[in-house]
Amino acid sequence: MASLSTPLLVAVFAAGAAATWIAGVFLSKATDALDARYGLGDALGGVILLAIAGTLPEIAITVSAARAGHLDLAVGNLIGGVAVQTLVLVVLDLASGPERPLSFLVGSLLPVIEALIVMVVLGTALGGAVLSPSTNFLGGSPTSYAVVVIWLVGVWVVNRARTRGQWRVETPAGATPGRHHRRQGDDHPYPHASNLVVIAIFLAASVVTLVAGVALQDSGSLLAGRLHMGGAVFGATVLAFATALPEISSGIAAVKLGDMQLAVSDILGGNSFQITLLLLADLIAGTPVIVAAHHSDVWLGAAGMLMTGIAAIAVIARPQRTFLWLGIDSIALVAVYAAAIALLPK
């Protein structure tokens, strides 16, 4: 791909973006149908199905970077991408309409649990950056193993909270119901398709997402080099945005279906699962990769934790007013991300 001219690289990048976007729509619809048929629930479906499928570009980049020995790229992609993917909530807020913010429409505290999982696994991973490079446990960092364990426990907690219903939250009198579902009864995507067909659609869209993600990374990296963009800035903006396209398209599709909880769970679930890929990078590289983290990675990781906290607080507080179609929490997310990029350590 390095032999391609700049216009052709732009065309490849655009084609990868378009393919990723379209695949994300099919992923969202297939997930919605599988949720209903297998009783997974919107939150669990977002944590597992959409989260893993939407993270396929990061998986491709992580494997490629770890095999090539580019440990800093693997770390930067995984840690730095959390802030950008949390910023996708702003796009979904716009897609949900001007009447009420997305954080109000969710109407569930399950995304708060998912946000806490993101903050815990990200904080655990960043703690590994101060360990000695010689610290090695079964081929990886102890914090990488801890992240995987925490994520698995978190998925169990989300499912338990969804099915057991041990607490209940009532909105103030006169408040608009938190969750607007346009579908009625069993009105789910692909109503006449068999389970095997829906699973095939999900798998096919996942493959397209994976291939398109590789094309985005390869073409984007070459374009960044030709434009003389710094690696940290490129990874935190262009590459992170490109790999977030599956979450954007599938999230907007979920919002249009009226599944606000699925849309938010897609983002938060993807962020927490993404951090577990550090263990995959460790095992491929044969050494803990988190020790290769730069100051910029730690900075962006901290920004991602702050933005996740803002999103969780907004779901609890349920702001009702919008400003220019956005909730106050979305405006705060944009401000924090802009400040993080502006102050990004060199």
- The string of pLDDT tens digits covering residues 202-221 is 899 888 888 887 787 678 77
Domain that holds residue 239: 6-165+191-342
Alpha helices in the chain (DSSP H): 6-38, 42-45, 51-54, 56-68, 71-95, 102-105, 110-127, 142-164, 195-226, 231-234, 240-243, 245-257, 260-285, 295-317, 328-342
pLDDT of 175 over the 50 cut: no
Q: Which residue has the higher pLDDT, 316 or 183?
A: 316
Q: To the nearest whole number, what is the mean pLDDT of the chain?
A: 82
Asked, for residue 259, whether it belongs to a domain, the answer is: yes
Tell me how many domains the chain contains.
1
Residue 173 lies in a domain: no
Q: What is the pLDDT of residue 61?
A: 76
Reading the block at residue 6, the tokens are 């700049």
Which of the pair, 197 or 50, is modelled with greater confidence? 197
In a domain, 184, yes or no: no
Mean pLDDT over 22-45 rounds to 71
Distance, CA of 51 to CA of 262 (rounded, Å): 10
How is residue 180 written in tokens?
A: 């607007």
What are the phi and psi torsion angles at 280 (to 5°)?
A: -60, -45
Q: What is the CATH number of the domain that holds 75?
A: 1.20.1420.30
Do residues 278 and 141 touch, judged by C-beta distance below 8 A?
yes
Q: Is residue 225 part of a domain?
A: yes
Tell me if 250 is assigned to some domain: yes
97 or 234: which carries more pLDDT confidence? 97
pLDDT, tens digit, 9 for 90 and up, residues 291-317: 888 888 899 999 999 999 999 999 999
Please check the confidence at residue 176 and state whether its pLDDT lies above 50. no
pLDDT at position 336, please?
97
Is residue 172 assigned to a domain?
no
- Which of the two residues, 230 and 144, has the higher pLDDT score? 144
Establish if 175 belongs to a structural domain: no
% of the chain surpassing 70 pLDDT: 85
Predicted confidence (pLDDT) at residue 83 exceeds the cutoff of 50: yes
pLDDT computed for residue 185 by the predictor: 44
The reply to whether 174 falls in a domain is no
Is the model's pLDDT at 174 over the cut of 70? no
**pLDDT at site 338:** 93
The closest of 103, 16, 129 to 316, measured between CA atoms, is 103
